[in-house]
Amino acid sequence: MVEVRRSDITLLDVIASQEIKTSIIEVINECKNKDILNNYGLESLNKILLSGPPGVGKTWTAMAIAGELEMDLVFVRWDSLISSYLGSTGSNIRKVFETVSAKPAVLLLDEFDAAGKDRGGDGQEVGEMSRVVINILQNIDMFPPESFLVAATNHGHLLDTAIPRRFVVVNMELPGEDERRRLIEYYSKGLPVSIDLDEWLKKTDGLSGDEIRTKIHQEAKRAILKNGSEFMSVATL
């Protein structure tokens, strides 16, 4: 039901606006210095909800948080959790949360809307769904302070209203011009691809980080294969 991975990605690999970076850094710093805060009777923040459209780097950011905290990243496999949904939901969810009680880690509830839909829906599923939501909320409230919880969704509006207020909510948007420039630089680094920055800034307007990376890699592969063993000059941006 869970998959544990180690991540060597850091926040330097996350390209986002200063505002987004600042809120993420603030939570990480609190988590790293929780003992100092505890001495003053203050609780450190350790739950973040990343909301935004597909491909803007929500999962990537969760990996960076785990990298920064030097902790394992525990992915929840909703499919296996959901396959045995009816009946054993409660114990399945508890088992998932238990993995981070036993050993501090970053728990990632990715595609969180799969489980956290609003309780006010309709149809047969509602009874079970509300139990799922209530169960998750209870587990979130008892979340161990030594661990870190990241939830990610691209349907923030679908989440039960009780969920966001338990988190530091970070809205991740499509990259603006400055972020696109940095994404282009980051993903073309070391590749034999010649890029006209002005042109690329125009043609990547409205694209996500994921789409920009794919586009650059496509261009690089074409260039490499077209030129056979010929060595091409690395683009200077």
Helix (H, G, I), strand (E, B) or coil at 130: helix
209 interacts with, out of ligand ATP, Mg ion, none, CB within 5 to 8 A per kind: ligand ATP
Number of other CB atoms surrounding residue 80 within 10 Å: 12
The least CB distance from residue 152 to Mg ion, in Å, is 6
116 binds ligand ATP (CB under 6 A): no
85-48-8-209 Cα dihedral, nearest 10 degrees: 90
Number of other CB atoms surrounding residue 143 within 10 Å: 17
54 binds ligand ATP (CB under 6 A): yes
- CB nearer ligand ATP, residue 20 or residue 133: 20
Which of residues 7, 46, 51, 59 is near Mg ion by CB under 5 A? 59
Helix (H, G, I), strand (E, B) or coil at 90: helix
14 binds ligand ATP (CB under 6 A): yes
Residue at token pair 């996350």: 14
180 interacts with, out of ligand ATP, Mg ion, none, CB within 5 to 8 A per kind: none
Q: Pick the piece of the chain touching ligand ATP (CB under 6 A) from 31-39, 88-96, 99-107, 205-213.
A: 205-213
With beta carbons less than 8 A apart as the criterion, state whether 54 and 222 touch.
no
Query: Which 151-180 positions form the footprint of ligand ATP (CB under 6 A)?
Result: 152, 154
